[in-house]
Structure 1
Amino acid sequence: MAKMKVYFVGAGPGDPELITVKGQRALATADIVIYAGSLVNPALLDYCTPECVIYNSATMNLDEIIDVCETGTKAGKKVVRLHTGDFSIYGSLREQIERLAPLQIEYELIPGVSSFLGAASALEIEYTVPEISQSVIITRMEGRTPVPEKEALRSFAAHQTSMAIFLSTGMLEEVMKELHIGGYPMTTPVAVIYKATWPEQIIVRGTLEDIAEKVKAEGITKTALIIVGECLGKSYNDSKLYDKDFKHEFRS
């Protein structure tokens, strides 16, 4: 019997229609799915066949996840490991593929739409506004998992550019304090978006000064992204791309 691959699939930010076509096809043809049950919208499992065996990795440790992958692939089963958003951002991908290699288990990576991209569409913003912000910092506040000292939130704040902060809503007051110490004015716009693109999505808007109080009033403590920067403000500039006086190789 031929040994199958493990397919790592990015589920997207939550809306079941925001998974990629390739990711949906992988789910539809899977024999076994291991999904991140604490974060992935279970509606995505509707793409699976009734015969598919489904595991919720929220209750599993790494050894148990790898055991399912090994047993399944060696039995000729197609295994899909379904991650929230895109697994390249806080997805614990590396530790899994490093375990598969010594077991001679092949794998394929199918990227997904990250939640910070889903959040931008929900907020109707562009992170890279001409002459206001041309960079996006993706980071998190140090908590139970350490952050390298050179990547401290306050050091990134010195750039005052667009920032998407993951896994930090439960420490929101401290996050705002670090951002201000690092360089953002207290008037900087902030949005906290709970379950971006899900039916139960909640958006809270404010500034460094008042966002923590507003989010507390909504009872949001997790499964939310913090977006910071003037990309959320009212100021913007037209790009040069479509400026009638701007010449480039496709338009003279």
Structure 2
Amino acid sequence: MKAHTTGTVWFIGAGPGDPELITVKGQRLISQADVIVYAGSLVPVEVLAGARPGVPVIDSAPLTLAETHALLRDCARSGGLAARVHTGEPSIFGAVREQAALLDAEGIPWEVVPGVSSAFATAAAAKVSFTVPGGPQTFILTRLSGRTPVPASEALPSLAAHGAAMAVLLSASEPERVQAELLQGGYPPETAIVLGHKVGWPGGEIVRTRLADLAETARRAGFTRQTVFLVLPGQDLDAEASRSKLYDAAFTHGWREATQPAPEADTKGGA
């Protein structure tokens, strides 16, 4: 796909807040932009430090959709590069779709640069894995229903019934409900939970707890917004017993022959 560098609107994922957790491509486009419109309530202005002197840098927090669109449209129509900088990863709970529809209606080209989700930044900061050999192999990213509805089939208890690893975003104001619905769905009370508060921002925090104590922990810490709840079944599996097969000396794959015999239990009954 040919990349447009002029007359184009670029939606850029700024990551969770750390200015170093934006892609090289995102940084480059910000440094080339003729106008920058950013979500100031969630994107630290430090992320935009590479902007050229004199380039308008506009906080979209007080703007309507129509006002934001006008800024992007006018820049692109003049042949410029407009950078629309969103928090996290634009495809997750973002507003790109509605903005892109307006651009499409006027024939204005646009592209997207992915970003680091706060869910992945929280996992990295906590040094945990969503998938565990011998444990969960599925990861669900979701939210509680609220002013933005959630389909009935995606209600938290229904998703929890899978027993998969999970990240619950945009739900910090109701930790009691998060806890109750996860328990209702079947997660054991001892399930490991990580709370990531403003991870990537100065003063960001990681707190570990168990599902039975999720709400109390969140309230005690004062985490009422910008908090990610990671639900991590399988964290108590023995590290030795749950090793990946990729580097196992007894495992053959396309790049390496096994150098040790497979354990006896692995050689019985298989085709």
User: Same-fold call, TM > 0.5?
Assistant: yes
List gaps (5 residues or longer) in structure 1.
none
Select the residue among 22, 27, 40 that pairs with 1:24.
27
Q: Is the 8 A contact 1:70 1:105 kept in 2?
A: yes
Q: Distance in 1 between matches of 2:145 and 2:234?
A: 24
- Letter of the 2:194 partner, please give it: A
Q: Which residue of 2 aligns with 1:76?
A: 79
Paired residue secondary structure (2:20): helix
Paired residue secondary structure (2:25): helix
Of all paired residues, the percent bearing the same amino acid is 43
Paired residue secondary structure (1:138): strand
Q: Is the 8 A contact 1:160 1:229 kept in 2?
A: no
Measured on the aligned residues, the alpha-carbon RMSD in Å equals 1.4
Q: Which residue of 2 aligns with 1:190?
A: 193
Q: Which residue of 2 aligns with 1:207?
A: 210
Q: Which residue of 1 aligns with 2:253?
A: 248
Between stretches 109-118 and 135-144, larger displacement belongs to 109-118
- Letter of the 2:72 partner, please give it: C
List gaps (5 residues or longer) in structure 2.
258-271
Q: 1:66 to 1:142 in 2, by over 3 A?
A: same
Residues 200-230 of structure 1: CA deviation (Å, up to 9, x unaligned): 1111211121121121111110111110122
Between stretches 229-238 and 74-83, larger displacement belongs to 229-238
Select the residue among 14, 28, 34 that pairs with 1:11.
14
Q: 1:225 to 1:30 in 2, by over 3 A?
A: same
Q: Distance in 2 between matches of 1:242 and 1:199?
A: 37
- Letter of the 2:134 partner, please give it: E
Q: Does 1:89 align with 2:92?
A: yes
Q: Does 1:239 align with 2:244?
A: yes
Once the two structures are TM-superposed, the CA of residue 187 in structure 1 deviates from its matched residue by 1.2
Q: Distance in 1 between matches of 2:221 and 2:150?
A: 28
Q: 1:186 to 1:60 in 2, by over 3 A?
A: same
Q: Distance in 2 between matches of 1:207 and 1:201?
A: 20
Q: Which residue of 2 aligns with 1:53?
A: 56
Q: Which residue of 2 aligns with 1:122?
A: 125
Q: Is the 8 A contact 2:43 2:87 kept in 1?
A: yes
Q: Which residue of 2 aligns with 1:163?
A: 166
Q: 1:136 to 1:117 in 2, by over 3 A?
A: same
Q: Is the 8 A contact 1:31 1:51 kept in 2?
A: no
Q: Is the 8 A contact 1:126 1:231 kept in 2?
A: no
Select the residue among 151, 155, 161 that pairs with 2:154.
151
Q: Is the 8 A contact 2:135 2:237 kept in 1?
A: no
Q: Distance in 2 between matches of 1:158 and 1:235?
A: 23
- Letter of the 2:152 partner, please give it: E
Q: Distance in 1 between matches of 2:234 and 2:140?
A: 12
Q: Is the 8 A contact 1:167 1:224 kept in 2?
A: yes
- Letter of the 1:35 partner, please give it: Y
Once the two structures are TM-superposed, the CA of residue 158 in structure 1 deviates from its matched residue by 0.4
Q: Is the 8 A contact 2:170 2:227 kept in 1?
A: yes
Once the two structures are TM-superposed, the CA of residue 234 in structure 1 deviates from its matched residue by 6.0
- TM-score normalised per structure 2: 0.89
Residues 47-70 of structure 1: CA deviation (Å, up to 9, x unaligned): 112211011111111111111111
Q: Which structure is higher in helix share?
A: 1
Between stretches 20-29 and 185-194, larger displacement belongs to 185-194
Q: Which residue of 1 aligns with 2:263?
A: none
Once the two structures are TM-superposed, the CA of residue 75 in structure 1 deviates from its matched residue by 2.1
- Letter of the 1:102 partner, please give it: A
- TM-score normalised per structure 1: 0.96
Once the two structures are TM-superposed, the CA of residue 28 in structure 1 deviates from its matched residue by 0.5
